[in-house]
Amino acid sequence: MSKMNDFIQQETITGIVPMTNKDRQYSFWDLFLSTSGFAIATWCYTQGAYVAQYLTFNQMLINIFSFNIIWVFIECLPILFAVKYGIDLWIWLRAVLGKKGVAILSTVISLANFGWYAVTADLFASSMIHLANNFGLGLDKGVWAPILGTLCVLLGTLIALGGPDVIKGTNRFLVVALLFVGLIIVGICFVAVPISDIMNVQPAIQENLTPIERFMMSGEGNVAVAFSWSTQAFVLPRLAKSERSGYWATALSYGVVAPFFAATGGVMALAMFVKTGVYESDPTTMLSTLSTPTFALLSLLLVAFANIGTQGTGSYVNCMIVKSGMPKVSYKLMVWIAMVYVSLLTIWGGVEEYFGSFISLAAYIQGPIIGMIVVDYFILRKRKLDLRSAYFLERHKAYEFTNGFNLVGLSCVIISLLVAVLFVYNPVTKHIQSPMFLLTTGSGFTAIFGGLLYWLASLTRLKRYMLKDKDSVKI
């Protein structure tokens, strides 16, 4: 009996068993700090530097905060059900995509999400190499970057194996420290370089683009980043003690704290351009150039270890996503497999080179899912789910659909992705193919179009197929 209780507890924390009220351990501040620690990884600096190349200082701030706040606050609405039922997004998505549909898309999206952690591992390696070189060790980046990056992945894996308690404890210290560092960094940038010079920098990337096209190209990057949180954002909130704290802790972390650090990265990139004539996205290089030696060393150390914390949280979250589709696979086995995969991406080193295309392509898959889950949650299922069918209990097969696939939901994802790539915006070639892009961005179009298709399908005879749980929903 003791072993059975331990197994149930383990499957509740690192599995897909619904979280009961007594098992929920995260207050508002616990969730806010844990989510913020995940959100403010140094990839935010990379994102801010990417946006800064397209816009002026004022445009950059408007772009980063407006696109992130709008989309994050919308996409986080279904967190209310995550807390209510004690489940994550992907359990609900069994009603939208089917059991096998969830298994496939959760795996594909997590494989894409793990590319972010290769970026954090690269930045960890860069930080450590800078620290070592400041002490005269002279480490060769070509040799040591893959080794130190892999070390970051390994240390993050150990945190992920510890589960939510270890993640919570790690982030309590790191988030407060990094928020403090972020505020000081902004001040250092304005001291190192006159603010008037920063505000007068003209966009480095013109590419025969009009001002509105540049603005929306940057917006595409910010919408894509906002969407990147969506499929991960609904895992930790199931640990929250109330629906209100679950929503606001998550929305404020991804919608306000993360954009602040992205804006900090943008300011640093502009300051670097003024001082050196070169745009730089590596925060370790920017810190070493702009700040005093003492503060640079402290900041580099904190930035380095922040990446380990992010690696751990990200591994936990994405392995939980995959487990929603493949519940019988051991969580620990998934974490070790993820470690090998991210290590290989880190050693390859190509993710950051294709950063803009990478985040947009990932968002093109996530966008339709965001649109559909909001429509499904508020309009079709009216905030009610048949939990028995969601867990495929005996005689409860409402979400089995067609051999485990909801053909309507999957069709909406595929059609939205193809239409966006072929007719709105191609993220690989960065070619704007329709004026619609200037209204919605490419990623935003996939969310709107995917949700619209799903809603229109519910107005036809397909509604009976989509709502097979109509007579079985009890709660």
User: How confident is the model at residue 342, as a pLDDT?
Assistant: 94
How many domains would you assign to the chain?
Answer: 1
**pLDDT of 444 strictly over 90:** yes
pTM: 0.83
β-bridge mates for residue 474, sequence order = none
Q: Is 359 part of any domain? A: no
Task: Output the CA–CA distances (angstroms, integers) from residue 154 to 14, 123, 307, in the order listed.
Answer: 19, 15, 12
Question: Which amino acid type is present at position 325?
Answer: G
Which of 5-19, 147-161, 189-203, 266-280 has maximum average pLDDT? Answer: 147-161
**The domain containing residue 216 runs over which residues?**
1-353
Question: How far is residue 452's CA from residue 375's CA, in Å, rounded to a whole number?
Answer: 8
pLDDT above 80: residue 305: no
Written as six digits, the tokens of 325 are 């589709």
DSSP state of 386: -
* Residue 369 belongs to some domain of the structure: no
- pLDDT value of position 14: 53
In a domain, 401, yes or no: no
**Is 228 inside a domain boundary?**
yes
CB–CB of 86/11 below 8 Å?
no
> 2 pLDDT exceeds 60?
no
Residue 362 lies in a domain: no
More confident residue, 38 or 193: 193
435 domain residue, yes or no: no
Q: For residue 426, which phi and psi values (nearest 5 degrees)?
A: -100, 110
Candidate ranges 46-50, 279-283, 320-324, 379-383; pick with highest mean pLDDT: 379-383
- Residue 298, in any domain of the structure: yes
Q: 425 pLDDT band (50/70/90 cuts)? A: very high
pLDDT digits (tens, 9 = 90+) for 20-34: 777 777 889 888 887
Q: In this structure, what CATH number is given to the domain that contains residue 327? A: 1.10.4160.10
DSSP H helical ranges for 76-140: 79-85, 89-92, 94-97, 99-134
In a domain, 361, yes or no: no
Q: What pLDDT shows up at residue 73?
A: 92
